[in-house]
């Protein structure tokens, strides 16, 4: 097959959106299926359609990536719809990430949802959220970024509150919704201020206008940028907009916690990377790089320390995901140092690995919820003797999250910190490394509980949910192999990141 | 390709054993572990490399492939052996097999996981001693921790969880400190590779640039200190040794054997490769050398004194490791052919002898279910063969001639005495030699009280002779110890060959 098959002169340009379209159409198809027979009791069909849809999106994104669609090797980024959407290496990279996390989550949900109502709605909401994320990655205009962010967020609110008989879930959904609505308002106001100062919503135009003379409006633009940053901090669960995250992740169904803490967070980063790097020059009104440096340090430190004090595994994972947002922020915080593509790409690669290891960890929690064995570290004691395979997978996730070699998490963190050092921000890397070493403490508590502790009470595991197991094991394999086994992953990420630098 | 085959086969064997039923796991693991032994002996037989792998010497069984290229730095799959690593590779395979046999009696739960983890650890140890790319090496180095954590934490004694976590956290933080020290060098070299030979040669060509206000010399010192601190925990050197007695006492016998026999050598091997080979100009600064020599002497004496104070046979052997590894450090910092050569030789010798001692204590424990010196006496009557081997091993530890320990310690003392690097080297050497007296003291004292005299045992167990498979590994180790003692040339020639370039940089004598 011709490696540059999907070029403008061979296929219509809009087909470059195929990964996002595949996700959206699958969501619609699920709704259609549900309306044909609302009482359909064949969850396998719904889960199957959702899985096939997300795998199709993954396949398309992967194919485009390897074919070089929208990348410098083949005429550069494909810009669509009055420049509002852009498909380039970074968009495709993130779309592949979202699609793979979505696939994991829908496969795992098949068992998790077995006894619950509204399955079609559940899958459809997941697919719509994923569509929103895919569009976030491709947004080239502040307006599209906002709409896509809302498209990703609204289904998420509903998904968090999906266990409607569980007061924790409903409360979490409400909190998430209220804070989300507030931050959306802040974000929208920020956009309008930027628009007021620059007269454009398209990122390249904004960049140009901000670089030129703003005739006294640079203060307005600075406040706008600050507010936009606030919106992203919410979406990525970065300090100081992180309060919702532990509540929401804890209350939500565990597969959704995984989905939110990896895919949704990565989507926040995708749009933040693009908006800040291609839209806002560094030296205008506000030094947003400094802002992200502060955010990165505070976020990773606070997330890690809070995670260390938790008694429940799910809450620990929630706080640790705040810590990881701090690592990913290094991508933005260090990108001005002349090694921008490398460190930004390393951030993307970290988010990709994180997508597997963190989703996997939450899926393991889902497995435990399924078995009804409680949520604290002590409840997990001795689980390895009953479920060795899943425990091996969980061990892989924990050690990878802590950054031990030879797992993917070690490599992605290393590339990230090395990129920061290369860019001259060695103190950022040092804070990251120290945090990373500390995190081993609480991650290894899970491992200790699983393997070393004796069970406090006799428990019988109710069966082996095949799909959930498959998803957990697959995520573990991906965590081990993704970076060390496939060097092109990091190379793709770095070249994609380098391409969006101004 | 033989190194890849060895590592790959051992990983595969670990997986197979992990899936095997518990009844066969031990025998199967032993059978599978023989192939790496044969492989490493084959490597030894066909070994034809000269010089130091890091200093433009030829490398045996070398493979160098690009792995990935990130941010201008190339990561490689780069393995090979020289005269320093080959003896340790042979030691790892032989000791792993014997440790597996010695586990047949004491390990009675979750056998397939136990033996699988032992083989998994062996594969990573082979990686540590053969990898010549820093990144690859670090992956293997850290991957050793994971099986060790489980081996201590699941199959260990009453305080196993505490010991396992202490071990894990201590050594992991040490790795991080070392990692940062090494990265400080790499990022300021114009090499663009993590290959240890390239980095060594660039460092010695003086291509290091400064970093945030540190001039190259200071940067080297910082990196040296940071790497030394990291490796010192692994060795372990006083005052970083506190994890070791905990880990040793709680670990089951075969795991103690691996811990003392091979894992501690990772630390000294890395010190030799990284600190003393890459940064000889720092290691030979009088102040640095004096501090290291002092630390070494303190480790020797303090470790031995601690051993003297113990009542638990296993603790005695455990603390004595601190003492023996102190000799290795002294030999390394001497920067003479005999000093560094003797230190390398001592790594192998101590691996064999400490393995022997731990196994012998394990055999006694299997039979008596106590390790307390005060709880037994006259064991020689009931367990004559084990007793004989244990005494022979203890003599080896004390450094009696014609045993590997004697050769190693003699080389080290000779080398350290003649050192031009350590200020007032004879003084340090003489001080460290007191260690021998204390070693003889605690070993003879413990032997005397447990093995000889009237038979007495304060425990309810029927004492019977140890099984053949319990004693056989002891005999093999004893034979190896004697063989190395009678003919140190078996390894010493290739070691000398590999360390000559290191010594030549400093201009030290033989």
Residue B70 touches partner A, C-beta closer than 8 Å: yes
Q: Which chain A residues contact residue B173 at CB under 8 A?
A: 437
Which of A410, A440, A451 is nearest residue B150 as measured by Cβ atoms?
Answer: A451
Which residues make Cβ contacts (< 8 Å) with residue B448, sequence separation at least 6? none
Q: Which chain B residues contact residue A441 at CB under 8 A?
A: 169
Which residues make Cβ contacts (< 8 Å) with residue B390, sequence separation at least 6? B357, B360, B361, B364, B447, B451, B474
- Cβ–Cβ gap A487/B69 under 8 Å: yes
- Cβ–Cβ gap A437/B176 under 8 Å: yes
Three-state DSSP at B402 gives: coil
DSSP label at residue A448: I
What does pLDDT average to in each consecutive run of 10 residues of chain B (510 residues)? 91 92 90 93 89 85 84 84 92 94 88 92 94 92 91 88 88 89 86 88 84 82 92 88 88 92 92 90 89 93 90 89 91 90 93 92 87 85 86 87 88 90 89 89 88 82 80 92 90 89 73
- Cβ–Cβ gap B71/A451 under 8 Å: no
Residue A383 touches partner B, C-beta closer than 8 Å: no
Residue B487 touches partner A, C-beta closer than 8 Å: no
The enclosing H or E element of B214 equals: none
Closest CA to B304 of B202, B399, B200: B399
The residue in chain B having the minimum alpha-carbon distance to the alpha carbon of residue A485 is: B67
The residue in chain A having the minimum alpha-carbon distance to the alpha carbon of residue B70 is: A491
Q: Does the pLDDT value for residue A341 go beyond 80?
A: no
Question: Given pLDDT bands bounded at 50, 70 and 90, which one contains residue A2?
Answer: very low
- Cβ–Cβ gap A487/B180 under 8 Å: no
C-alpha to C-alpha distance for B416 and B333, rounded to whole angstroms: 8
Question: A439 to each of A286, A348, A399, A445, B174, how far by Cα in Å?
Answer: 33, 21, 10, 10, 15
Calculate ∠ Cα B371-B376-B380, nearest 5°.
100
Q: What confidence score (pLDDT) does residue B100 get?
A: 93
Q: What mean pLDDT comes out for the span A10-39?
A: 84
- Which of B70, B157, B164, B189 should one mutate to test binding to chain A, selecting the residue with the greatest count of A CBs within 10 A? B70
Question: Given pLDDT bands bounded at 50, 70 and 90, which one contains residue A373?
Answer: confident
Other CB atoms within a 10 A radius of the CB of residue B207 amount to: 14
C-alpha to C-alpha distance for B148 and B121, rounded to whole angstroms: 7
Three-state DSSP at A127 gives: helix
ipTM of the complex: 0.84
- Cβ–Cβ gap B71/A415 under 8 Å: yes
Three-state DSSP at A396 gives: helix
- Cβ–Cβ gap A422/B70 under 8 Å: no
Say what the pTM is: 0.89
The residue in chain B having the minimum alpha-carbon distance to the alpha carbon of residue A498 is: B71
Three-state DSSP at B250 gives: helix
Which residues make Cβ contacts (< 8 Å) with residue A294, sequence separation at least 6? none
Average pLDDT over all residues of chain A: 84
CA A151 to chain B, closest CA, distance in angstroms equals 35
Burial, A488: exposed, middle or buried (Cβ in 10 Å; 0-12, 13-18, 19+)? exposed
- Which of A452, A485, A487 should one mutate to test binding to chain B, selecting the residue with the greatest count of B CBs within 10 A? A452
Residue A404 touches partner B, C-beta closer than 8 Å: yes
Residue B164 touches partner A, C-beta closer than 8 Å: yes
The residue in chain B having the minimum alpha-carbon distance to the alpha carbon of residue A425 is: B212
Q: What mean pLDDT comes out for the span A201-219?
A: 81
Q: What confidence score (pLDDT) does residue B293 get?
A: 93
| % of chain A surpassing 70 pLDDT | 96
CA A225 to chain B, closest CA, distance in angstroms equals 30
Q: What confidence score (pLDDT) does residue A54 get?
A: 92
Q: What mean pLDDT comes out for the span A315-334?
A: 87
- Cβ–Cβ gap A422/B187 under 8 Å: yes
- Which of A451, A454, A497 should one mutate to test binding to chain B, selecting the residue with the greatest count of B CBs within 10 A? A451
CA B58 to chain A, closest CA, distance in angstroms equals 28
Express each pLDDT in A279-300 by its tens digit.
Answer: 887 777 677 888 888 888 999 8
Express each pLDDT in A429-440 by its tens digit.
Answer: 888 888 888 888
């Amino acid at each position: 097959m011709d490696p540059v098959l999907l070029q403008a002169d061979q296929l219509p340009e809009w087909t470059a959106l195929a990964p996002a379209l595949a996700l959206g159409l699958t969501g619609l198809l699920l709704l259609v299926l549900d309306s044909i027979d609302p009482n359909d009791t064949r969850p396998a069909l719904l889960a199957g359609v959702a899985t096939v849809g997300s795998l199709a999106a993954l396949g398309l994104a992967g194919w485009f990536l390897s074919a070089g669609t929208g990348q410098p090797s083949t005429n550069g980024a494909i810009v669509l719809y009055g420049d509002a959407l852009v498909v380039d290496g970074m968009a495709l990279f993130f779309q592949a990430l979202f699609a793979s996390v979505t696939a994991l989550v829908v496969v795992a949900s098949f068992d998790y949802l077995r006894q619950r109502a509204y399955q079609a709605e559940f899958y459809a909401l997941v697919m719509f959220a994923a569509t929103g994320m895919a569009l976030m990655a491709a947004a080239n205009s502040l307006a599209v970024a906002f709409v896509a962010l809302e498209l990703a967020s609204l289904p998420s609110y509903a998904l968090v509150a999906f266990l409607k008989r569980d007061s924790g879930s409903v409360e979490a959904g409400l909190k998430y919704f209220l804070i989300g609505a507030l931050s959306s308002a802040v974000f929208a106001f920020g956009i309008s201020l930027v628009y007021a100062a620059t007269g454009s919503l398209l990122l390249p135009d904004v960049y140009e206008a901000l670089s030129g003379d703003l005739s006294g409006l640079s203060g307005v633009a600075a406040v706008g940028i600050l507010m936009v940053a606030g919106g992203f901090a919410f979406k990525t669960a970065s300090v100081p907009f992180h309060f919702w995250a532990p509540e929401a992740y804890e209350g939500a169904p565990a597969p959704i916690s995984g989905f939110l803490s990896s895919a949704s967070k990565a989507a926040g980063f995708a749009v933040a990377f693009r908006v800040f790097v291609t839209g806002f020059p560094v030296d205008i009104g506000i030094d947003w790089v400094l802002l992200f440096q502060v955010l990165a340090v505070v976020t990773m430190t606070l997330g890690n320390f809070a995670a260390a004090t938790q008694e429940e595994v799910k809450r620990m994972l929630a706080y640790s995901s705040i810590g990881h947002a701090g690592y990913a922020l290094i991508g933005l915080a260090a990108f001005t140092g002349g090694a921008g593509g490398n460190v930004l790409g390393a951030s993307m690669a970290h988010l990709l690995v994180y997508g597997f290891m963190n989703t996997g960890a939450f899926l393991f929690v889902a497995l435990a919820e399924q078995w009804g064995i409680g949520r604290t570290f002590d409840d997990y004691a001795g689980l390895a003797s009953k479920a060795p395979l899943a425990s091996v997978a969980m061990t892989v996730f924990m050690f990878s999250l802590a950054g031990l070699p030879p797992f993917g998490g070690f490599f992605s963190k290393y590339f990230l910190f090395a990129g920061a050092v290369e860019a001259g921000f060695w103190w950022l890397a040092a804070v990251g490394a120290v945090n990373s070493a500390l995190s081993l403490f609480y991650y290894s508590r899970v491992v200790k509980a699983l393997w070393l502790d004796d069970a406090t009470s006799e428990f019988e595991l109710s069966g082996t949910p095949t799909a959930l197991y498959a998803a957990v094991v697959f995520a573990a394999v991906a965590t081990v192999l993704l970076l060390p086994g496939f060097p092109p992953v990091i190379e793709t990420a770095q070249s994609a990141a380098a391409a969006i630098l101004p | 390709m033989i190194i890849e085959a060895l590592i790959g086969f051992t990983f595969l064997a670990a997986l197979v054993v992990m899936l095997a039923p518990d009844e066969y796991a031990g025998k199967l693991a032993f059978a599978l572990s023989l192939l790496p032994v044969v492989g490493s002996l084959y490597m030894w037989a066909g070994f034809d490399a000269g010089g130091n792998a890091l200093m433009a010497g030829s490398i045996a069984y070398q493979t160098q492939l690009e792995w990935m290229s990130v941010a201008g730095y190339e990561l490689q799959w780069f393995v090979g052996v020289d005269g320093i690593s080959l003896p340790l590779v042979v030691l790892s395979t032989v000791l792993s097999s014997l440790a597996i046999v010695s586990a047949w009696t004491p390990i009675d739960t979750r056998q397939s996981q136990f033996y699988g983890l032992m083989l998994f650890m062996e594969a990573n140890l082979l990686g540590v001693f053969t990898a010549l790319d820093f990144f690859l090496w670090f992956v293997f180095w850290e991957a050793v921790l994971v099986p060790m954590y489980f081996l201590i934490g699941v199959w260990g004694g009453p305080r196993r969880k505490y010991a396992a976590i202490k071990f894990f956290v201590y050594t992991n933080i040490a790795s991080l400190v070392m990692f940062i020290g090494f990265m400080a060098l790499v990022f300021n070299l114009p090499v663009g590779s993590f290959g240890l030979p390239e980095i060594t040669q660039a460092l010695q060509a003086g291509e290091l640039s400064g970093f945030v206000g540190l001039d190259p010399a200071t940067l080297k010192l910082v990196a040296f200190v940071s790497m030394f601190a990291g490796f010192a925990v692994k060795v372990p050197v006083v005052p970083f040794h506190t994890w070791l007695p905990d880990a040793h006492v709680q670990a089951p016998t075969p795991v103690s054997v691996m811990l003392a026999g091979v894992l501690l050598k990772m630390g000294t091997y890395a010190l030799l490769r990284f600190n003393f080979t890459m940064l000889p100009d720092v290691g030979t600064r009088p102040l640095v050398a004096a501090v290291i020599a002092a630390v070494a002497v303190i480790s020797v004496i303090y470790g031995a004194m601690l051993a003297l104070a113990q009542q638990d046979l296993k603790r005695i052997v455990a603390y004595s490791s601190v003492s023996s590894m102190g000799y290795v450090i002294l030999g390394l910092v001497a920067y003479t052919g005999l000093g560094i050569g003797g230190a390398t030789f001592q790594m192998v010798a101590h691996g064999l002898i400490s393995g022997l001692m731990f196994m012998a204590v394990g055999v006694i424990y299997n039979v008596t279910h106590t390790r307390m010196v005060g709880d037994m006496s006259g064991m020689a009557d009931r367990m004559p063969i084990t007793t004989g081997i244990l005494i022979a091993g203890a003599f080896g530890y004390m450094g009696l001639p014609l045993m590997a320990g004697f050769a190693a310690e003699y080389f080290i003392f000779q080398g350290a005495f003649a050192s031009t690097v350590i200020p007032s080297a004879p003084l340090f050497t003489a001080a460290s030699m007191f260690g021998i007296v204390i070693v003889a003291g605690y070993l003879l004292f413990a032997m005397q009280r447990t093995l000889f005299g009237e038979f007495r045992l304060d425990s309810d167990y029927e004492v019977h002779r140890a099984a053949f498979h319990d004693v056989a590994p002891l005999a093999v180790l004893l034979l190896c110890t004697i063989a190395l003692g009678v003919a140190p040339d078996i390894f010493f020639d290739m070691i000398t060959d590999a360390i000559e370039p290191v010594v030549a940089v400093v201009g030290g004598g033989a």
